[in-house]
Amino acid sequence: MGKRTFIGVLALAVGLSLGFAASPIRVGVTVSATGPAASLGIPEKNTFLMIQEEINKAGGIGGHPVEFIILDDGTDPTTAVRNTRKLIEEDRVHAILGGTTSPISLAMIDPVAEAQVPFISLAAAKAIISPVDEKRHWVFKVPQTDEIMAKAVVADMVARGYQTVAYIGFNTAYGEGWAREFAEEAQAAGLEIVADERYAPTDTSVTGQVLKILSRRPDAVLVGAAGTPAVLPQRTLVERGYRGQIYQTHGVANPDFLRVGGEFVENTLLPAGPILVADQLGAEFPSKPVALEYIVQYEGRYGIGSFSTFGGHAMDAWLILKDALERTLDQVQPDDLAAFRSALRDAIEQTRGLVATHGVFNYSSEDHLGLSFEDAAVIVRVKDGTWKLERTFR
């Protein structure tokens, strides 16, 4: 019996043991629990497993048990598309959550749009939800966009008086999106980009790119990468004697980056969702209580220090979906699959003032992100192997 089948049977067994009489609500999930993005996808998977258990113990939603069908795409867009079609056509899910990386989420847009299934992405690129065209009508996302976080990085660079900067990022949609948004923000702020390099997430050396950057002597370098593969350029820069400020993106905000990077990532600055430093935030952040509650719940199950911003994204996707499911069940029953999917999409788009772990979500027909810059972005420093709040924008 494969993992996908086992998880589905377990959910149904939980529902039956608790005496659910109503039909289940099926939530399809595809995340990168293995492969280069595993450090992002594992906390997402863990969060969905935790939610499934807790929500069904609490009576499900409107008397309906919730069945999470969780698949691993191995950080491969082709596998993610195959998973998506399987969840839609064979498992007949009511909604899909996941898409750990930007290339994977972008690849999932066509199958969910063709089948008209609401999809909440866990990846960062603005292109996943913008513009809200005929296909993206069915697509929402929860992580801060590269546009929001590039704005935070450039604001911090300007505040520190930097004038010249360099960029090295993935040769994927994530790295290209960051390169584009960072260039626009930097140009508007009067920063000069003196080097612009790329590498693949599976590369084992970036010496050539780093030597080009060092020859331009930038005040700061931004690494546009995610997960543990983001350590490579930073380690190479440090080993080659770079003494300027190194920035990373919110794609590294997890314990594995600190563990793999060790002393090489000390004093790194990065933009992050406020959950990363929730215990250091002031009361003016509305997401603080929700974030702290999630951290306690997650670490109670998986161990102290195990939470990450990526598990927080999974929780936020669920909080949005749960709220929309409750409103949808007042209009349509899950057995009417096409009508339920359509009504659920509309309910997600009507989400207003929903406080989650990363901020307050206000979706609209023009905005399928729904986060504000002030609520959803902070600057964090890596200090003594942990995260320290450096700057807020409220």
Contact 355, 105 (CB under 8 A): no
- For CA atoms 43, 359, 101, 252, give the dihedral sign: negative
Q: How many CA atoms lie within 13 A of 173 on its CB side?
A: 16
Task: Give the chain's largest Cα–Cα span.
Answer: 68
Query: Domain extents for the chain?
Result: 25-144+288-361, 146-272
Q: Is the pLDDT of residue 149 over 70?
A: yes
Q: Which of 266, 270, 290 is nearest to 278 (CA)?
A: 290
Extract the tokens encoding 37.
């993005």
As a whole number of angstroms, the distance between CA 44 and CA 24 comes to 22
Label the pairing between strands 95-98 and 139-141: unpaired
As a whole number of angstroms, the distance between CA 149 and CA 250 comes to 7
CA distances from 303 to 27, 44, 105, 306 (A): 26, 15, 29, 6
Q: Is the pLDDT of residue 291 over 90?
A: yes
The DSSP letter of residue 274 is G
Helix and strand tally (H, E) in the chain? 13, 14
Extract the tokens encoding 193.
């980009």
DSSP letters spanning 226-249: -SGGGHHHHHHHHHTT--SEEE--
Please state which of the ranges 19-28, 208-217, 231-240, 329-338 shows the lowest mean pLDDT: 19-28
Contact 234, 261 (CB under 8 A): yes
Q: At what angle do helices 337-349 and 309-328 cross, to 10 degrees?
A: 120
Contact 347, 328 (CB under 8 A): yes
Amino acid at 123: A
Q: Which of 165, 166, 133, 129 is nearest to 146 (CA)?
A: 129
Q: What is the pLDDT of residue 9?
A: 41
Residue 138: its H or E element: none
Q: Which of 316, 257, 290, 276 is nearest to 121 (CA)?
A: 316
As a whole number of angstroms, the distance between CA 171 and CA 38 comes to 18
| Fold exhibited by the domain 146-272 | Rossmann fold (3.40.50)
DSSP letters spanning 201-231: TT-S--HHHHHHHHHH--SEEEEE--SGGGH
Q: What is the mean pLDDT of residues 191-199?
A: 98
Residue 282: its H or E element: none
- pLDDT class for 18, splitting at 50, 70, 90? low
As a whole number of angstroms, the distance between CA 276 and CA 282 comes to 13
Q: Is the pLDDT of residue 385 over 70?
A: yes
Average pLDDT over the chain, rounded to whole?
94
| Fold exhibited by the domain 25-144+288-361 | Rossmann fold (3.40.50)
As a whole number of angstroms, the distance between CA 298 and CA 296 comes to 6
Which pTM does this prediction carry?
A: 0.90
Contact 98, 313 (CB under 8 A): no
Q: What is the CA radius of gyration of the chain?
A: 21
Q: What is the mean pLDDT of residues 22-26?
A: 93
* % of the chain residues with pLDDT over 70: 95
- pLDDT class for 21, splitting at 50, 70, 90? confident
Q: What is the mean pLDDT of residues 80-94?
A: 98
Helix, strand, or coil here: 378?
A: strand
Number of C-beta neighbours around residue 19 at 10 A: 9
Q: Which of 33, 105, 102, 362 is nearest to 251 (CA)?
A: 102
As a whole number of angstroms, the distance between CA 209 and CA 32 comes to 28
Q: Is the pLDDT of residue 275 over 60?
A: yes
- pLDDT class for 17, splitting at 50, 70, 90? low
For residue 267, which phi and psi values (nearest 5 degrees)?
70, 10
